[in-house]
Chain A
Amino acid sequence: MLKIENLTANVGDKQILKGISLSVNPGEVHAIMGPNGSGKSTLAQVIAGHPGYEVTGGTVTYEGQDLLDMDAEVRAQQGIFLAFQYPVEIPGVSNAYFLRAAYNEIRKARGEEEVDPMEFLDVMTERLKIVEMGDDMLQRSVNFGFSGGEKKRNEIFQMAVLEPKLAILDETDSGLDIDALRIVAEGVNKLKRPDRSTIVVTHYQRLLNYIVPDFVHVLAQGRIVRSGGKDLALELEERGYDWLLETAGASA
């Protein structure tokens, strides 16, 4: 589904990603862990097409196509979804309007009919249950005045409505209490399908108790320094990141 090869990326003159290679197959859950500043959020945003990063080398292939050649909106229309670490507030645009616009853009790209507001209301009402939110949020402005937990749940709600093929959760767990974490994780699990893949970017192992990964990759200083199964996450929880950083430092 997604094949990243030797990807390098900069912010300004600073190189953040220094040669990332990663393959994600349909149905798989990959966790990307690492200390602050390791480049894990950058990787998530580069896949989604954030204009603030400059890709300087390597390739990213998504369903056989050159992902780096697509605008961010085209990536979304092709089934890529990024749950933001810091969801953006957009006062003046209701969640309902925003989501319907997104939903219809994605349907149009697939050559499907647009849905009318009433039809779409049914879709939204059903998906709200997944994140245990009331329908009053539909008329509120996008993320505006939302608590941290509400913002993260709104990300998962959007994901539930838009049904991406590849979902990337960028530190969706950070700042959540255990109840909110459980709701978010269960939401993600309910949306799992054999043809959908998930990349979970996280600093903590905690989330992975709920969203069980097939693979765990440790990112440090812009490189993947270790990959393994779900047990690697437990080991990291036990030992921290330092032992891997030393290894990375020694090999650099």
Chain B
Amino acid sequence: MTAHSNYRELFEVAAASSAAKDFLPKLKIAAIEQFEAVGFPTTRDEDWHFTSVSPIAERTFRPARPAATSLTSDDIARFTYGQDDWHLLVFVNGRYEPALSSFAELDVDAQVMTFGEALKEAPELLAERLGTLAPAKQAFTALNTAFMADGVVIRVPKDIELETPIHILYLTDSHATNASQHPRTLVVAERHAKVTLVETFATIGGGTYFTNHVAEVVVGDGARVDHYKVQREGGEAFHVGTTQATQGRDSIYHAFSFAIGAQLSRTNVYSKLLGENAEVRLNGLYALEEAQHADHQTFVEHIAPSCSSREVYKGILDGTSHGVFNGKVFVDPQAQKTDGKQTNHALLIGDGAKVDTKPQLEIFADDVKCTHGATVGRLDQMALFYLKSRGIGGDRARALLTYAFAAEVLELIELEPLKVALEALLFERFIPPETV
């Protein structure tokens, strides 16, 4: 009996209490079967070579039980970036909390629904899209599909531009200790639609728990989706997140991943460029300390011609932390005039910190421009001396240079209040408060 087989038992219990539409049980049964077939990945899998998920695989995380939360708006204020006018959907331990959410009336014809609402109001949309972008081939996606209980479904009809960002806040508290949540996000931006989405994963007093998130994003022809993910889980937590986008012609998808939390995290951001002249930007910043481990994998599939992809990932590694970056780019024989650029830089601060980085280009078209660059370094001693020679010494000088390293990628955040908030989060971590 292997550890992962315990999930079948948990699945039977969950399925018995579900009153979902027909298509959903089918999807879920297929997913748990797939999960049982593949099991958790090991470091023998190429995609998991530098990341051992055995701390997750050795435990069995039951789905978090729905329970009334005692959290108040004041408790969550520090996770909302000071933006009272954004649409806010709050989930606590995987369950939607209307009392904490402030969901302003949409002034346009668009739908923002919880998973439960979508099952009632737009079952055809779910049936058509759910699980089609992120098929349950990978173990964690399969597990999410099998256990997904709540989440958010967003549909922006054609020609509609939603100006106000939508913020989904996934909070975990002490009730979810040793439990898991499998939230699911589905975004469909139809032709020439526009939407900005922020997903934040955070904890208030959570111990060891496991968040396993999947987002599917359909970016229609000429549509634009800005998708920000802020992962600030608790220090004992495990986090796995997969975002899979597909893009139509002339579309823009911008995904930004900010990760400072969890003892072990894996963030996958994938986009498939299906229509000509589509543009994808995958950027990210992670900052680790102590023994944290964070693995980022990006995958851009250039299927259509004349598309561009831009990636900038940066990591700051203190203590004995371990960072992994694997940037995959696939260029189909059809995808002529592909323009791809990928850079990733790591700054090692802690003596015991390390980073493994692997760019992976598979190019089957001949008229393409694809570049990648990776650096791993320590703080520039000349820059440190320069700061000292101006009176800025020790920790302050190191913090300033660390922050400067991050600034270049934070500049790519176009949502100004979020940029300011994330800068502040980094500042807090790297500059001791008494010296600010």
Contact = CB atoms under 8 A, between A and B. Distances in A.
Give chain A's interface residue range (CB within 8 Å of chain B): 20 to 34
The 8 A-B pairs at the shortest CB distance, nearest first, are namely A73-B393, A92-B404, A92-B407, A76-B391, A72-B388, A102-B390, A88-B386, A105-B391
A101 interface: yes
A91 B404 contact: yes
Contacts of B404: 90-93, 141
A191 interface: no
Contact of A76 (B390, B396, B403, B407): B390
A61 to B, nearest CB: 20
Nearest to B400: A93
Most B C-beta atoms less than 10 A away, residue of A84, A92, A101? A92
7 contacts: A49-B385, A50-B385, A51-B385, A73-B397, A76-B390, A98-B392, A105-B392
A71 B408 contact: no
Contacts of A51: 381, 385
Given A88-B383, A101-B396, A109 B391 contact: yes
B408 A92 contact: yes
Given A88-B383, A92-B405, A106 B389 contact: no
B145 to A, nearest CB: 41
Contact of B391 (A73, A84, A91, A93): A73
A73 B388 contact: yes
A87 B388 contact: no
Given A87-B386, A88-B383, A93-B400, A72 B405 contact: no
A93 B431 CA distance: 14
A102 B387 CA distance: 8
A158 interface: yes
A165 to B, nearest CB: 13
A162 interface: yes
B387 to A, nearest CB: 8
B53 interface: no
Interface in A85-142: 87-88, 90-93, 98-99, 101-102, 105-106, 109, 141
B392 A102 contact: yes
Chain B's interface: helix, strand, loop or mixed, by majority?
helix
Given A51-B381, A72-B385, A90-B383, A162 B403 contact: no
Nearest to B384: A51
Contacts of A74: 393
A90 B401 contact: yes
Contacts of B406: 92
Nearest to A48: B389
Contacts of B1: none
B382 interface: yes
A77 interface: yes
A54 B53 CA distance: 48
B21 to A, nearest CB: 51
Contacts of A75: 389
B313 to A, nearest CB: 16
A77 B391 contact: yes
A71 B388 contact: yes
Contacts of B396: 101, 105
A60 interface: no
Given A82-B389, A162-B390, A91 B408 contact: yes
Nearest to B411: A92
A72 B383 contact: no
B82 interface: no
A49 B388 contact: yes
Given A50-B385, A72-B385, A84-B386, A101 B400 contact: yes
B394 interface: yes
Interface string A146-173: 0000000000001000100000000000
Most A C-beta atoms less than 10 A away, residue of B386, B394, B405? B386
B413 to A, nearest CB: 14
Nearest to B436: A101
Interface string A165-194: 000000000000000000000000000000
B391 A88 contact: no
Contacts of A72: 385, 388-389, 393
A155 to B, nearest CB: 10
Interface string B303-324: 0000000000000000000000
